[in-house]
Amino acid sequence: MSFVKADNIMVDFPIYGSPYRSLRSTVLRAAVGGAFAKSNDEQLVVRALDGLTFAFHEGDRVGVLGHNGSGKTTLLRVIAGAYEPVSGNLSVEGNVTSMLSITLGIDYEATGAENVFLLGAVMGQSRRQMRERLDDITEFADLGDFMQIPLRAYSAGMIMRLAFAVATSTPADIVLMDEWLSVGDQAFEVKARARLKSVLTGAKILFLASHNEELVRNNCNWILRLDHGKMISLEPVTGIL
């Protein structure tokens, strides 16, 4: 039984070596979310998530809405295990696939085949698991002999095709997406959309962070609204799915 449960989770990013006023103006100009706070040891921090509590189970499709810097991506990265809450409890049961940055882990000096294993490692997959999927990834990405040459010889579209093929090669219980994924290659787009739809249909829980409320309402049954790291509301969406 897959689930994601948060109990009053808080995420802080410590700030070192700059005066408060200078930091405040810098953060505001950069539209970084959260709010300034002091940690338990009096360290100045940006509080990116502040006291979030929720529970989602199989069948839930969660749209996370908010302005830039509201904490959407931070929340997804916490669920993915990239960040740890400084307080509160987070429980995640199920295999998680993160599509927040599908090119994370790429080595441009390594071959396409070698990058399959590198990207797989970032996703928490073993070499054996990725070896079993290598032929399918190669066929889907339509890279042929290019899989044996370094990525520095690839076009941007070829790199995205490889990264997308790897990211969608693993069955997932929980899928995390920051905005709707587009690979940008028109010739590849049709089968990419079909594969993405299959992955999302098979997922037991989906988190979709977006600015687009219509997109969220068309694909989700819950809306979680964030503002400066705080959960403003959690509301059901009716009439879909």
Alpha-carbon distance of 38 to 46, in angstroms, equals 8
Answer yes or no: are the C-beta atoms of 111 and 149 closer than 8 Å: yes
Report field, pTM of the whole predicted structure over 0.95: no
13-22, 48-57, 79-88, 170-179: range with lowest mean pLDDT: 13-22
Give the total residue count for the chain: 241
Please tell me whether residue 194 adopts helix, strand or coil conformation: helix
Crossing angle between the packed helical segments 127-141 and 156-167, to the nearest 10 degrees:
130
pLDDT beyond 80 at 200:
yes
Instruction: Give the other-Cβ count within 10 Å of 218's Cβ.
Output: 12
Q: Look at residue 69 in the predicted model and tell me its pLDDT.
A: 87
Average pLDDT in the chain: 87
Contacts of 189 (CB under 8 A, 6+ apart): 182, 183
| pLDDT, tens only, 69-100 | 899 999 999 999 889 999 999 999 998 988 88
Q: Look at residue 27 in the predicted model and tell me its pLDDT.
A: 47
Alpha-carbon distance of 88 to 130, in angstroms, equals 35
Q: Is 68 exposed, middle or buried (0-12, 13-18, 19+ CB in 10 A)?
A: exposed
16-20, 58-62, 232-236: range with lowest mean pLDDT: 16-20
Contacts of 210 (CB under 8 A, 6+ apart): 63, 64, 65, 72, 179, 180, 216
Give the H or E element holding residue 132. helix 127-141
Alpha-carbon distance of 186 to 191, in angstroms, equals 10
- Across 157-174, average pLDDT: 91
Relative to beta strand 35-38, strand 61-65 is: unpaired
Query: DSSP assignment, residue 232?
Result: E
Domains in the chain, CATH or no CATH each:
3-94+207-236 (3.40.50.300), 99-203 (3.40.50.300)
